Amino acid sequence: MWTLEVQTRQRVSFVDITRDVARLVADAGDGAVVVFVPHTTAGVTINEDADPSVRADLEMALERLVPRDLPFAHAEGNSDAHTKASLMGSSVTVPVVAGTPQLGTWQGIYFAEFDGPRRRRVLVTFLPA
């Protein structure tokens, strides 16, 4: 297992970690890679990486679905972040062939921050075929 460190710079952001994950499994052979975020106010997703406006659209849509000013019971002031992280999910699994993640042409792997800025960890595990 490997650990990626991600430093976020704003409260909400989507950080492309595709190249980092690909670098880690480059010598791994065939199998699958699991990317897991061990934080309750952050997540991980796979989506388009060719057009940066997709990330902005995701941020806007999640904010409309779960605005920060809802009457949450959780007292820390980051309940929207917990909810958005649950909607996004804490892990993704990608097939790997000959050390290459089998993402679609336009796909990238994104760490999703909802309570930054923070220093975060992403755990990456290779499962051999």
Between CA 124 and CA 129 the distance in angstroms is 16
Whole-model pTM? Answer: 0.94
Give the whole-angstrom CA distance, residue 121 versus residue 6: 6
What pLDDT does 96 receive? 98
- Poorest-confidence range of 7-21, 65-79, 89-103? 65-79
Domain 2-128: CATH class, spelled out: mainly beta
Average pLDDT, rounded, for the chain: 96
Spatial distance between the Cα atoms of 43 and 11, rounded to a whole number of angstroms: 13
pLDDT tens-digit profile of 42-63?
A: 999 999 999 989 999 999 999 9
User: Do residues 58 and 129 make contact, with C-beta atoms less than 8 angstroms apart?
Assistant: no
Asked whether the predicted pLDDT for residue 93 surpasses 90, the reply is yes
Q: Where are the domains of the chain?
A: 2-128
